[in-house]
Amino acid sequence: MRYLIALIWLAIFTKKLFFWVYLWQLKEYHIGRFIDHFQTYKGKKLIFNYLLLVKVLLLLGMIYTARHGLEKAKFFLVYFTAFVFFAESLYIFRAFLRKTLKKPVLTQKIAVILSTGFSSEILLVFTLFLLEFRLTKFTATLLLVDILTPIGFSMLVLAFQPLAVFLRNRILKQAKLKRAKFLNLITVGITGSYGKTSTKEFLAAILSEKFRVLKTKEHQNSEVGISECIINELRPEHQIFICEMGAYNRGGIKLLCDIAKPKIGILTGINEQHMATFGSQENIIKAKYELIESLPQDGVAFFNGKNKYCLELYQKTLRPGSGQASIKKHLYGENSGLGLENFEGAKAVAKELGMTDQEIESASRKIENKFPGIKIKDGVNGLKIIDATYSANPDGVIANLEYLKTLPGKKIIVMPCLIELGKASAEVHRRIGQKIAEVCDLAIITTKDRFKEIKDGTEVGLPSMEVRLQSILFLEDPKAIFEKIKSTTNPGDVVLLESRVPSALFYFLGFTIIKS
């Protein structure tokens, strides 16, 4: 019996090891982001769920029966625990077959953490056998360790952080030293709550027509990512380095600027994204403005003219005594079409760097997708799928809904509630709900966190607003989501997928997507 329980427990424990390491990696080992996850409905379910409650009651029951010599009850609890472990292992096996198990992206750091965790679980089981624990004590020990896995695995991940910080600082130092050697390299820094990636891609495509350009890769906007890009990819032939910059705390953008040394700064837009980690809207604004403050005296700053916070910072930069009086400043995109301000910003920077209007227009014509944050795909039953699952933020969702509004046919949106919005979350979701009511025939929300606020927004709206929405539903199961879409739509209708929708839904809709 011990061998069977140990084998099943190892499978469960390994699955949980992969999941918790995956979650820490997803949150970029940022404690604030990790903790904020437990403010969400799914995060709360990780801690407060019936399975965990049953395990705690079983453990307490085994302790009680062992102390009072209740042999029959004690063995009943042991066998019932074995049954619970077995049922949980079946669920894990089903998830494995469906390819829905969460697992981290394998890196050197992740490999070391997983190896340590797996070795620890093997060592624990081996030790229990050596100690020749009775079946009850053997099972209770494994049950206790299973209950404490969130704490144990988090401690395991954090135990490697000092080493990670040491290696991180070494990489940053190497990147700074290498960057300092490229005296003629022009770095363009791009930051904002949204629009960073699209602006980077537009600008790289345009500038590559005339210059030798290096750009940071997808998801390479942290201090380590940018440093690795400099160390591994920067070459003497490069003339321009386009550097996307992301941060979750004050001082983060300044650190990135110390590494990349931008001469041109682009502020693409500011909203409530990541307010949970920044603490306030004011902190977000100050953090993004660090890019402009870090520019040299002969630097050039570009601001999104369609964003109110960028307009305020533009005025602040122009104000005498700001400390940046000699920096050239430009607004862009004020009169651009729907969702095209970042494209206009890229063109404005290209002109600043010496490209002619003819060169810019020639390069622009080669860019097929003026909305790089989305991909349009053909789905089953003649559906058009707008894939906007790369990332999600309030302004991006609103912009995608505005784009959806221009398309013919019925319009469906499938999206989870947005995360890391802090105290602004309720109002943001009501605003999204209002826009959904104006644009969509059907809305399917896949998480519960702010479903009520989204629904409230769809019901309140504005007196002058034409409400199109017929139904808003909360559905988690991808098959149920697909069946609802199937029963509602006809060929030519459009489905907008926002943010992290269930991955199995891609299969039902007739295409697959590979995420890093």
In a domain, 394, yes or no: yes
Looking at the fold, whether 68 and 212 belong to one and the same domain comes out as: no
In a domain, 117, yes or no: yes
> Which distant-in-sequence residues (6+ apart) come within 8 Å of 74 by Cβ?
62, 65, 66, 136
Three-state DSSP class for residue 90: helix
Looking at the fold, whether 355 and 490 belong to one and the same domain comes out as: no
Looking at the fold, whether 413 and 297 belong to one and the same domain comes out as: no
CATH of the domain at 504: 3.90.190.20
Contact 224, 191 (CB under 8 A): no
Counted domains in the chain: 3
Q: Which of the listed residues 338, 365, 392 is the one where a domain comes to its end?
A: 365
Looking at the fold, whether 352 and 380 belong to one and the same domain comes out as: no
> What is the full per-residue pLDDT of the chain (516 aa) written as tens digits?
889 999 999 999 999 999 999 999 989 898 988 998 998 888 999 999 999 999 999 999 999 998 888 888 988 999 999 999 999 999 999 888 877 888 999 988 999 999 999 999 999 999 999 988 889 999 999 999 999 999 999 999 999 999 889 999 999 999 999 999 999 999 999 999 988 988 999 999 999 999 999 999 988 899 999 999 999 999 999 999 999 999 888 999 999 999 999 999 999 999 888 787 788 889 999 999 999 999 998 899 999 999 999 999 999 886 544 454 568 999 999 888 766 888 999 999 999 999 999 999 999 988 877 666 678 888 898 999 999 887 778 888 988 898 898 899 999 999 999 988 888 899 999 999 999 999 999 999 999 999 999 999 988 754 445 667 889 999 999 999 999 999 999 999 999 999 888 888 888 888 654 333
Q: What is the pLDDT of residue 514?
A: 39
Looking at the fold, whether 256 and 277 belong to one and the same domain comes out as: yes
In a domain, 294, yes or no: yes
**Edge-to-edge strands, sheet with 186-191:** 213-215, 240-244, 186-191, 264-267, 300-304, 328-332
Our CA angle for 323, 324, 326, nearest 5°, is 125
Domain of residue 41 covers 2-159
Q: What is the pLDDT of residue 97?
A: 86
In a domain, 168, yes or no: no
Q: What is the pLDDT of residue 320?
A: 43
Residue where the block lists tokens 């920067």: 234
Joined together, the tokens standing for residue 346 give 């890229």
Looking at the fold, whether 191 and 132 belong to one and the same domain comes out as: no
Q: What is the pLDDT of residue 227?
A: 96
> Which distant-in-sequence residues (6+ apart) come within 8 Å of 162 by Cβ?
none
Q: What is the pLDDT of residue 512?
A: 52
Looking at the fold, whether 358 and 463 belong to one and the same domain comes out as: no
Residue where the block lists tokens 């996307």: 244
Least Cα distance to 243 among 186, 303, 158, 302 occurs for 186
CATH of the domain at 245: 3.40.1190.10
- C-beta neighbour count of 1 within 10 angstroms: 12
Looking at the fold, whether 322 and 421 belong to one and the same domain comes out as: no
In a domain, 164, yes or no: no
Least Cα distance to 240 among 266, 217, 260, 220 occurs for 260
Looking at the fold, whether 235 and 205 belong to one and the same domain comes out as: yes
pTM of the model: 0.81
Q: Which of the listed residues 336, 365, 394 is the one where a domain comes to its end?
A: 365
In a domain, 289, yes or no: yes
Three-state DSSP class for residue 332: strand
Looking at the fold, whether 19 and 94 belong to one and the same domain comes out as: yes
In a domain, 336, yes or no: yes
Q: What is the pLDDT of residue 272?
A: 85
Q: What is the pLDDT of residue 355?
A: 95
In a domain, 173, yes or no: no
Q: Which of the listed residues 310, 343, 365 is the one where a domain comes to its end?
A: 365
Looking at the fold, whether 451 and 491 belong to one and the same domain comes out as: yes
Q: What is the pLDDT of residue 133?
A: 85
Looking at the fold, whether 218 and 117 belong to one and the same domain comes out as: no
Q: What is the pLDDT of residue 370?
A: 66
